Amino acid sequence: MTKIIGIGNALVDVLVHIDNEKLLYELGLPKGAMTHIDRKGLMRLRQRLVGVHVERATGGSAANTIHALAVLGHHTGLIGAVGDDETGRFFAEQNRARGIDLHLAIIADEQTGTANTLVTPDHERTFATHLGAAVYLERALCEVDLSAYDLLHIEGYLLQDDILLHKILQAAKDAGLRISYDLASWNIVRDHHAVVTDLMEKYVDIVFANEDEAVAFCGVDDPKRALRELVAKTDIAVVKVGKHGAMAMTQETGDEVFFAPAQERTVVDTTAAGDFFAAGFLHGLVGNKSIDTCLAYGNSMAGEVIQVMGTQVAPEKLRKCL
């Protein structure tokens, strides 16, 4: 079986439902986007959430995808960095219980990173992310033999350090791995467009984008056009179009657009929907399924995780997706 390793920010999700968008405006958080906050910003946010019910789950985009792939029975690994604190131990224990081979650097004087996820009544997520120890990812890399794996899944959030990201991707290519890349957030694509383009042209075999990220990439409000621009720079491009489903193109099949409709589901929280979609798609891809089937697997996996808060889907439900 294909061995898959993920690299990304090792985070714990702090999930909060808010009644309206007022808090987003107060804290200067663009709705639906990911914004980095420092320790001062984290303390300000926590003060505003005193008395509000919160839920906690392991997070980080690449980690979520690896979590779902592990549940599906794949041999998986995860590279990241956490603090020497209770939150870091929670992250490690949860992922080890899923059978994931962890390559975690433990950073003594930093807090484990948190993705503070504010969910508005329309179920859209806005992230205020405190990276903390996650930025020391490079310390974990020297302990990992990438050649023991076949595919690397990496998140676009790592563009906080594009030099390190280039280094990781070059090492993966040198080791003979295929590379799967999730664009992560529309504002990252917009703010780092040239770097994203360069990464895809040099290293990426499979790219995942949602509709907003695809539009930010091509600058035109047309997901199909963005899909064509993405696949021109890689082997397989996938664009998720929310409740409508997902579409894909490949270099091998030329101008043919593959599409799979989404299944109707009751939405509780869209956290990790894209990450679980990527897991379903990759599961099909490494199993030599058709692109239509890969899309259907992705939609089905996403459809399960949006029915719960966070990523705590019962494993048997995920396995029934396929």
Closest CA to 10 of 79, 66, 89: 79
Q: What is the pLDDT of residue 9?
A: 93
Taking residues 126-139, report their average pLDDT: 92
Q: What is the pLDDT of residue 125?
A: 83
Instruction: Compute, in degrees rounded to 10, the torsion defined by CA atoms 25, 217, 261, 254.
Output: 180
Positive or negative, the CA dihedral 241, 30, 38, 271 is negative
Q: What is the pLDDT of residue 19?
A: 87
- pLDDT of 309 above 80: no
Domain count, the chain: 1
Q: What is the pLDDT of residue 175?
A: 95
Query: What are 59-104's pLDDT values in tens digits?
Result: 899 999 999 999 999 999 999 999 999 999 999 999 999 999 999 9
Taking residues 19-26, report their average pLDDT: 89
* 49 vs 104: CA distance, rounded Å: 30
Global pTM?
Answer: 0.89
Q: What is the pLDDT of residue 187?
A: 86
Taking residues 107-120, report their average pLDDT: 92
Domain span holding position 273:
3-319
3 — pLDDT class (breaks 50, 70, 90): very high
End-to-end Cα spacing for the chain: 17
Q: What is the pLDDT of residue 70?
A: 95
- pLDDT of 54 above 90: no
* 246 vs 273: CA distance, rounded Å: 12
Residue 262 DSSP symbol: P
* 218 vs 208: CA distance, rounded Å: 14
Beta bridge partners of 102: 78
H/E stretch holding 43 reads helix 39-48
Beta bridge partners of 82: 106
DSSP 3-state assignment of 266?
A: coil
- Angle, helices 193-202 vs 162-174, to 10°: value is 10
Instruction: Compute, in degrees rounded to 10, the torsion defined by CA atoms 234, 67, 281, 200.
Output: -10
Residue corresponding to tokens 């890969």: 294
Average pLDDT for the chain: 91
- pLDDT of 164 above 90: no
Query: What are 177-235's pLDDT values in tens digits?
Result: 999 999 988 888 999 999 999 999 999 999 999 999 999 998 878 888 899 999 999 99
CATH number for 78: 3.40.1190.20
Beta-strand ranges (E) seen in 9-141 are 11-17, 34-36, 55-59, 75-83, 101-107, 113-119, 125-130
